Structure formats: structure tokens, C-alpha cells
Chains A and B, each alone.
Chain A
Amino acid sequence: MALSSQEWNSFLAALGPEPGERYEQLRRRLVVFFAARRCAAAEDLVDVSLDRAAKRIAEGVQLEVSVESYVLGVARNVAREEWKKPVVVEMDWGRVAAVPVDSDPRVECLEECLKALPEESRKSIERFYESTGAAKIRGRQELAAELGLDVNALRVRMHRVRAKLEICVGECCDGNEEGKGAISKREF
């Protein structure tokens, strides 16, 4: 059942300052949580968990832990319930990964979004994806050294750039030019 505005506001209040960002992070955590537990339709279970936690908080439950830890407890219960249901998941991931690139409308959007990145970020991510095999490992070690990072920190930094690209490409494909604007205004 959907949240009432009162329940929603109570939940946001419990998230403290900058509730939007904390809420967004909670969603990202929950998606990983359910996917790692191999629960089908992880995104739907994220909504179920957040709604259930928000209702309990609106009802006045005493939080002895952070909101995040409380939501984790709720999510574990949701996952247990989910395991009892039969699971039917049929997806041809190999086919998804092999989409012909030239016919992919995202190609042009990606080019536009790459152009909108700060130059250093653009060059870095282009180099990050330039090589394969042994050359990839060597290339990434060199790139990390040039940026004064270890390879793991480079991976996290490139993930950050890529996450912004994902938003930009998604919005560009939906015909929303603000995606590119958002990229250029953000810190990388």
C-alpha cells in the first residue's frame, strides 16, 4: 500500500538533513542487497522495504539504530519472505550484452555526454576503457600512477565518472538535455 504524505514526511524527517541524498543512497544499498541475495525483481522489493520501514517510523517506532540499519533489518525480513515464493527468472543476458553497438541509440548520447565531462575525467575514462587483456592491466596501473592513486581508488573514481555518464546517457536518450547540463555542473 502506498505511503500517505504524512508517513512520507515522517520518514524524510527521520533521515535528518539532506534527506534526499540519504534516501537515494538507501535505495542504492537496497538494490545491491536484494540482487546479492538473488531476490527476483530487486527494485520492487526496495519499494516494499522502504514503504514498510517508513510506515513503522511514522507509527512511532523507537529507533535504537540508524535509519539505514533499521531499513536493513526490514529488508532482511522482506528477503526471507521472498525466498518462500517460487522464482521464475528467464533472461538472456548474453544477448543483452551483445546488442549491436552501431544500431544502439545510446552511441550518440554517449558521445555527447563524454563531451560534457570535464576534460580530465573524459580523458581518464577513455583511457580506462581503451585496452583489453594484459594491456588493460598495465594501462590502468599507469593511469593510476599518473593520477597519484592506487588501482582500487582509480576503479572507484572511474565508477563515479561512469555513474554520472549513466545518468546523462539515460536522460539524453529520454530526450532530456538536462542530463548533459547536470554533468558539467557536477564535481568529479
Chain B
Amino acid sequence: MSSEKLVRQYLLGELSEEDREAVEDRLFGDADFLEEVEAAETTLMDEYVAGELPGPEKKRWEGYLAAHPKSRDRLALSRLLQVRGRKSRLWWLAVAAAVLALFFFMPKKDAPVVLAVALEAGALRSGTEKVQVVSVKPDVRFVRLRLGAGARATLRFVDSGRIVASSALVDGYLELEAAGLQAGDYVATVMDGQGEEIADFVFRLARLP
């Protein structure tokens, strides 16, 4: 039988008289063994408070406690430490949940930044008319222009008259790589499936520092 099991049985009052006396002899002759016995006593206190002792052992352990009334302080400490441990575990679980939530909901470092803008159909003219401005920050990789119903669209740079993009609309959006767009005025022309022009969207693209 292991020393640990022997000591546990001794404290629970499960040993024969002969074995009990052998444990007592060692208890009074070996300082290390005293500590081992007290550690086993602490373990039983913890298990008792945690409700982990099976019925018969619980009953026998209560016999030990009844003989040793001062052990109520030790029981109380077991309970305090266990409750504190449980609270700490819950706290760590809450922290872990928060970290996971941050991980899932924060923009990923490598994920491309997309600027989506809904434009109003109409012409940009100087003077009194309102100018639609699309401001693009340096970290933006894609610009998605919402142009509404239509099959495809072309984007023309007003200053040079050059068509800088021509592609199909996806869910009403024209998607462009931000790197290919210089600052200035643009006209996006939306066409239907037969190539007929439906609407023009005029806007000014500004590059932010």
C-alpha cells in the first residue's frame, strides 16, 4: 500500500489497531512524515468542503473533525480558497471570451480595406451644384461604387477623357483597385444588358494623406 493511501486510511480511521500503531510510531519519529500526514489532512479538508468525499468516508471524516474542533478554521480556509479559485476561473473564462470576441470581430491586419460609397446619379458641374466627393485613405485597397441597377459600367477620368475601368456590376457595385485611381473628377456610366447608357454618376476622388 502506498504511503499516501495508508495515511489517508489512518486519518479516516480505517486501519487495524496494529497498522494504526505503526503509523503513530512513524508520526512521532519522523518530521517529514508529520508533514505528509498534515498534507493528507488538508486534502481531506478540501475534499470534504468540495463535497467530493463519498458517503462512508464523509461520515468517518466528520468523526475526525468532531474530535478536533479547531479544524473549523481550516475548513473555512479550504472553502475560501476554493470559492476564490472558482471566481478566478470564471474571471479567466470571461477574459478568454473577450479575447476571442476581439479576435473574431476586429479587422484582420492583412484583410484588405474596402471603401464602399453609394453615389447619386447626376452630373457634377462647377458652380452651385453639390459635388460628390469620394475620399480615399492610403490604406484603402478597393473602392466599391454603388451605382444601382445596370449590367456594367465604365469609369472615365474627366481631365484626360480616358476610360480607366470597364466591368460588370456586381450587386449594383463597380469595384475598383484604389491604386489605379488618381485624384480628380470621374464619370461612371451605367449601361444595361444591351449596352444602352442608363445613368451617369459624377464624383470627385480625393486622396487623403
Contact = CB atoms under 8 A, between A and B. Distances in A.
Contacts of A61: none
Interface string A155-183: 11011101101100110000000000000
B49 interface: yes
B28 interface: yes
A7 B68 CA distance: 27
Contact of B77 (A32, A131, A162): A162
A132 B75 contact: no
Interface stretch (B39-47, B118-126, B183-191): B39-47
Helix, strand, loop or mixed for chain B's interface? helix
Contact of A125 (B38, B39, B74, B81): B81
Given A36-B10, A66-B29, A155-B39, A166 B74 contact: yes
Given A91-B65, A132-B50, A96 B38 contact: no
A110 B67 contact: no
A153 B41 CA distance: 14
B207 interface: no
B81 to A, nearest CB: 4
B66 to A, nearest CB: 4
B37 interface: yes
B84 interface: yes
Contact of A32 (B38, B66, B73): B38
B77 A166 contact: yes
B167 to A, nearest CB: 56
Nearest to B33: A29
28 contacts: A25-B34, A32-B41, A33-B24, A33-B28, A35-B67, A36-B24, A38-B66, A38-B67, A43-B70, A66-B28, A69-B28, A91-B65, A93-B75, A96-B72, A97-B49, A104-B76, A110-B77, A129-B85, A130-B88, A131-B85, A132-B86, A152-B4, A156-B36, A158-B42, A159-B39, A162-B81, A163-B38, A169-B77
5 closest cross-chain pairs (CB), A and B: A159-B39, A129-B85, A35-B68, A72-B28, A129-B81
Interface of B: 4, 10-11, 13, 20, 24-25, 27-29, 31, 34-43, 46, 48-50, 62-86, 88-89
Given A91-B69, A131-B85, A170-B73, 15 more contacts: A32-B34, A34-B68, A39-B67, A40-B67, A43-B69, A66-B29, A68-B28, A69-B25, A99-B79, A106-B77, A106-B80, A131-B89, A152-B36, A159-B38, A166-B73
